[in-house]
Chain A
Amino acid sequence: MMNLDRRLISQFLLAAALFYPAAASAQMASPSSAKPDSAKTDAASKNLSHDLSGVWMQYRDGDVPGTPGMNGVNEHFRPPLTPWGQSQVDHASALQGAKAIAGKEDTSVLRCEPSGPPQVLILPNPWEIVQIPGRVLMFFEEQHLWREIWTDGRAMPKDPDPSWLGYSVGHWEGDTLVVETAGFNDKEWVDLYGNPRTSTTKLTERYRRLNHDTLEQQIIIEDPKVYTKPWVSPPKLHKLEPGWELAEWFCVLNENHEYDSVVRKPAGVAPVPGSGK
């Protein structure tokens, strides 16, 4: 059962990770130290290799300045932008990171617009994988989102309607579940820094269970309209949380003001006690 402690943890993580980046840089994990070395990990036992089910929570091992987590899409590895992509980034009012300006932060999620991949994948909140025949389901505490990944062998539709979540198909390559998604709309960013996602974005996610408690996730973004090369982020580790259940967390417009005052703060204001030393 979801309990208050879990919710508080979750809210705290959101507060810490999303909204106090400037204050949190001192407690960053040292760069690279947390990077997984996939070759050296235990060989996944046969019975686990195709079982990704469970509630997962990303390790707080961010190596991007100003972000304690959320490095599943890693800006260090972003390829050069196209001129069009650059103009989009220049006009975005980032929620966090070096470009964020206090009181001017913006992102569609702050207006309770739906989130979607890859942004929803990198937020430091619990998420769950459920596998059923022909489908892998992902549930996110963030905005109570769910997505389905078709694993029944169907092809990606040729001309999907642009959508918040896109259309996803998956297949196994050895121990790795490869999820391909296309058909996105351009109404949200790939991250919270303002890096664009467009209707030509193709997202590839690679999931591998390194051992019983650890899931490796790698995110690759291809969009020739925005990025001059594929954006290949290093793998990110997630920890199994067997005692957790996803809580109900909807973004509600008429609760947004309270949410803003309690959780979100402009990038420049003081952190909540205990969140940044």
Chain B
Amino acid sequence: MFNMTRNKWKKGSALILALTLGAALAGCGSNKAAEDTAAAAGEGKPAETADKTLTVYTAGPEGLANNLIKEFESQSGIKVETFQGTTGKILARLEAEKSNPVADVVILASLPSAQGLKKEGLTLAYPEAKNADKLSKDWSDPEGNYFSTSASALGIAYNTKLVTTPPTSWSDLAKPEYKDQINIPDPSLSGSALDFITGYLSDKGDGGWSLFESYKANGVAMAGANQEALDPVITGAKSMVAGAVDYMTYKAKAKGEPIDIVYPQEGTVVSPRPAAILKSTKHEENAKAFIDYLLSDPAQKLVSDAALLPGRTDVKAENRANLDDIPLLKTDWTWMGEHGTEVTDKFTKLLK
């Protein structure tokens, strides 16, 4: 008897909840419908109207991405939807959307990732891109699958209040006076840190590991992605970052923070930032127009204004060291692309 009444009662309550819920969802539904039509109107179905949209997934810096897209929108009349995140976030999103892709163009901060996308057959070749011949050969695909439209160089960032005579060589960081005072970005979180490590190893061979072993002995700490490694140096908790991304340092320095960067004399690595069209794009023409824009003079000017290295060798930066002024290691990008995972594993285990 007791059970029966309880069940009856429960059915009743479930009914009420179901009703309220239904009403609520219907409310949301109608909202959503309105949004959907709005979204559809923005998307502009190619069948009816001229195709005027493009979706770009881009890795920072945010200010540069915003400026590039604003200028492209006003030039071309194409409406650009953007998703901004780290290279890792962008790749994860691409992977999750694999069965029904959304993005048309990606701008990454890691060349090996773009090589990987090409290898998986996810990129669309655009060999006719304007000005592509002026790009640095090492960093872009000869078949036109990706274009490194900007780059950053890696150096040693240091707190000017704590370090009065900056180091001149990578091996200086193993000196006892810097014990426990140095950060290095985690190569599993930072593509540029990985570029630095693999780049160094591709020049020095297996002997290059002795540098990182001496770092370990001197208490060099792995500290998250680039910005997380740099921040403690700005606040003075650490003195230096090995393999620091230069444009972030220039930006903090321009603000007036007590920080500066040096490029060691034996040479360093440049970390290119490739853009690529995805094969799954439904707006191919717009995507190509966007790549053309990224390679154009005004876009390259915006790149150099953001303290990044312009991808085109014929465009010079004004407020930072140019490529000619930065001593470079002999890097082998094919080797680096193939050995990334293995080096990351070994390095993170070593520094743990």
Check if A and B associate. Answer: no
Q: Which residues of A are interface residues toward B (Cβ below 8 A)?
A: none
Q: Which residues of B are interface residues toward A (Cβ below 8 A)?
A: none
